[in-house]
Structure 1
Amino acid sequence: MTYVFPFSIAKSLRKLQCLEIIDCEVLKKIVEEEEGAETIVNSIFPQVTELVLKKLPKLTIFYPRIHALEFPMLKRLVIEYCENLTSRYLGLQDDNKKGALPISESKFLCLENKINHNLEEFRLHDGVRNIRWQSQYKVLTITLDRANIPLGLLQRFQSVKRLRLFECEYKEIKSVSNLPNLEDLCVKDCRKLMSLMPSSASFQNLKVLDIWGVNGLVALTTPSMARSLV
């Protein structure tokens, strides 16, 4: 079975609150389109607060006629080992990379409208990076990221106070300058990192800076940025 619901059933599940789909190797989509169905639908499951998708290697899209799906009540989002879904349809792919989808087609979920508001927990593991967001503690942890950190990703976490970067392959992390509320930055075993913060960055709220195992680091900071830490 390559889908979970036909559209006629999915649109009737207006009170569904938790949707978990785990370990389905042949699943390609969540909702199957039907003849005569609406072209664009933004809220098939308007009451869903928890969405968990795990071990769905062939899943590529939620519903073929939707390019940006809304879950207005979503509080917990977990996506693990859905290799064909995450980078392209969560808006985590670098738009400058070959093969990136146009904006109109590239977003499966409007995360930028959720992470800073209702979303309490976000976990993503796609074989390229491991990301966890805990709203209660305002902590964002990124581990084993072998790609360049997407600027758009950090922009969605502007409320983050604690940022953890572990065993990532970044050469620079200029995107941290987009975190105005950052109080605690921890970087460990990011051995390719050469530049920690851009000269234009200002971290007036930064209280803790913890750097471990960054063998390639040329300079910790610039004089102008150091003055902003006083």
Structure 2
Amino acid sequence: MLKKLKTDCSTFIKIVASERPSIQEMNENDRRESTEGQPLFLGEEVIPQLEELRLSKIDDIEMISDNQFRADFFHQITVFEVNGSNFPIGFVQRLNNLENLELFCCDFKDPVSCEGNVAEKPDAGTLSRIRKLKLGFCENLRYICKKASKLGHILSNLETLEVLWCNDLINFGPSSASFRNLTTLEVERCNKMINLVTPSVVQSLAQVTKIRIEYCERMTEIVANEGDEATYENEITFSKLKYLELYHLQSLASFWPGNHTFKFPSLEDLIVSSCPSLKVFSQGVSTTPQLQRVKESRNDHRGRWAGDLNTTIQQLYSEKV
């Protein structure tokens, strides 16, 4: 039985509507998959068994109306990939067991909402089941999380977030409500980002164990200094962070430019590579009781340690100037 389907939206709609597309209507990949022992079945036979669905040319997906199919028609789909056009939130709401959502080349005219009561919105239950979100090559995505957006609670129970080549992205946004279950955060080649998160967002990252940031050319700091440090607590803590990788960040001057104490009680692996502007990790105190070395690459098994994190970073910087 077919478990995975990758096709364009128009072909998918024909399958859903139980119209068998002709060979002429199928693209080359569809023809190859069909001739390799997987004939295209009627919608009632194939769609309820699908576990992974990957669609391109997504413009017409909203033609599938809410009352056109029984409630469990898309029940088995746990992985959904979209390539192109606007984010099809209406269709995603019908994927009741969706866990992994991948959005490529989508146009985000509205940011992802982070606020409100899940119980108040009919779509929130479906969106809050998503555990992994991958965003790639998206346009008009300025903030991952912001108030007053139609996208609801897609981030509420997210565990893994990957963002790459989203060149309109400024940072993750001001709200701290959405990332309470996040464990893995990876950001790559987002060239408009100057910082990653605000101190208020850090408070919601209590479960994060891994952060990897690569090739963000304009990023000068990881945690933004929002001016009035008196509004923050004296200490900022990444309580469960074990792995931190900062790679090829040409403008990065510090992890945090303020004077507050940063605590990393669980940090064991720190990789700092190709960050030529990184003079100091933080202007304040950084405590890392589990950290024994700073690596200069993933394959650096010896690492470097000069007694504390700030001194080690300063030593690495002085050797490169």
TM above 0.5, one fold? yes
The residue number in structure 2 matching 1:145 is 190
Equivalent positions of 1:12-161 (< 5 A) are: 16-22=50-56, 24=57, 27-28=58-59, 30-32=61-63, 45-54=74-83, 56=84, 58-63=85-90, 69=93, 71=95, 73-82=97-106, 84-85=107-108, 88-89=111-112, 93-94=142-143, 102-103=148-149, 105-107=150-152, 110-113=154-157, 115-116=158-159, 123-128=162-167, 139-146=184-191, 147=193, 148-149=195-196, 158-161=206-209
Identity of aligned residues (%): 14
**What code does the residue aligned with 2:167 have?**
V
Q: Aligned pair in 2 of structure 1 residues 170, 29: CA closer, same or farther (>3 Å)?
A: farther
The residue number in structure 2 matching 1:135 is none
Higher relative contact order (CA 8 A, sep 6+): 1
**What code does the residue aligned with 1:142 have?**
V
Larger CA deviation: 210-219 vs 145-154: 145-154
Alignment partners' CA distance in 1, 2:220 and 2:76: 41
Q: Aligned pair in 2 of structure 1 residues 127, 224: CA closer, same or farther (>3 Å)?
A: closer
Alignment partner of 2:239: what SS? Answer: coil
Q: Deviations over 1:32-81 (max 9, x none)?
A: 376xx68xxxx984432111112x1x234332xx8x94755333332222
Q: Aligned pair in 2 of structure 1 residues 227, 85: CA closer, same or farther (>3 Å)?
A: closer
Contact conserved, 2:163 with 2:186, CA < 8 A, in 1? no
Equivalent positions of 1:197-212 (< 5 A) are: 197=256, 199-212=260-273
The residue number in structure 2 matching 1:133 is none
Q: Aligned pair in 2 of structure 1 residues 94, 76: CA closer, same or farther (>3 Å)?
A: closer
Contact conserved, 2:187 with 2:213, CA < 8 A, in 1? yes
Q: Aligned pair in 2 of structure 1 residues 224, 127: CA closer, same or farther (>3 Å)?
A: closer
The residue number in structure 1 matching 2:134 is none
* Structure 2, gaps ≥5 residues long: 1-7, 18-43, 115-140, 170-182, 225-235, 292-321
**What code does the residue aligned with 2:111 have?**
R
Alignment partners' CA distance in 1, 2:94 and 2:237: 25
- CA displacement at 1:182 relative to structure 2: 0.7
Q: Which has the larger radius of gyration?
A: 2
The residue number in structure 2 matching 1:162 is 210
* Structure 1, gaps ≥5 residues long: 131-137
Contact conserved, 2:250 with 2:276, CA < 8 A, in 1? yes
**What code does the residue aligned with 1:171 have?**
T
Contact conserved, 2:59 with 2:86, CA < 8 A, in 1? yes
**What code does the residue aligned with 2:54 have?**
E
Q: Which has the higher helix share?
A: 2
Alignment partner of 2:263: what SS? Answer: coil
The residue number in structure 2 matching 1:174 is 223
Provide TM-score, normalisation by structure 2. 0.46
**What code does the residue aligned with 1:73 have?**
N
Provide TM-score, normalisation by structure 1. 0.61
Aligned residues: 195
Alignment partner of 2:88: what SS? Answer: coil
